[in-house]
Amino acid sequence: MTCRPKNTTAGTSLRTDFHLDGEPRHLPPSVEESLLRIGQEALSNALKHAQPTQFQVSFESDAVRLELCDDGKRFVLDGVKGRGIGLLGMKERAEQIGGTLTVTSRPGAGTRIVALASYN
């Protein structure tokens, strides 16, 4: 399933895509809210710092996996320590729901953030 959310990035030239793999299922409100906030922070960071043209969100309901990707400028992970709390907040939100957060950023490939929760 692929859809393009409306007004997600109103006022920008950013193109967004959302992909859902698996069957939609009910998640506890704490899991839903944490994944929403992680996604919002990732999009906000991309718009502020990466100058991307594309932002993709994939959600796998079977694994409760949220993957966020942009094609913007990469950043050096060690270089962001102390410059903000966005990545730390995303990591803490993932841990609060029994999950993990992985961030990778490479030249020419943008940034990928994966939140994986162990909720069943």
In this predicted model, what pLDDT tens digit does every residue of 43-82 receive, in sequence order?
Answer: 888 888 888 888 888 888 767 889 989 888 876 665 555 4
pLDDT by residue (tens digit) across 80-112? 554 567 888 999 999 999 999 999 887 777 889
Which backbone phi and psi does 40 adopt, to 5 degrees?
-65, -45
pTM of the model: 0.79
In this prediction, what percent of the chain has a pLDDT beyond 70? 79
Residue 56 and residue 15 in contact, taking contact as beta carbons nearer than 8 Å = no
- Give pLDDT, residue 117: 84
Domain ranges of the chain: 15-117
Look-up: residue for tokens 């929760």?
Answer: 117
Higher-confidence residue of 64 and 33: namely 33
Q: Which fold has domain 15-117?
A: Heat Shock Protein 90 (3.30.565)
**DSSP 8-state symbol, 52:** -
Instruction: Report the side by side order of strands in the sheet with 2-3.
Output: 2-3, 15-21, 54-60, 65-70, 110-117, 99-106
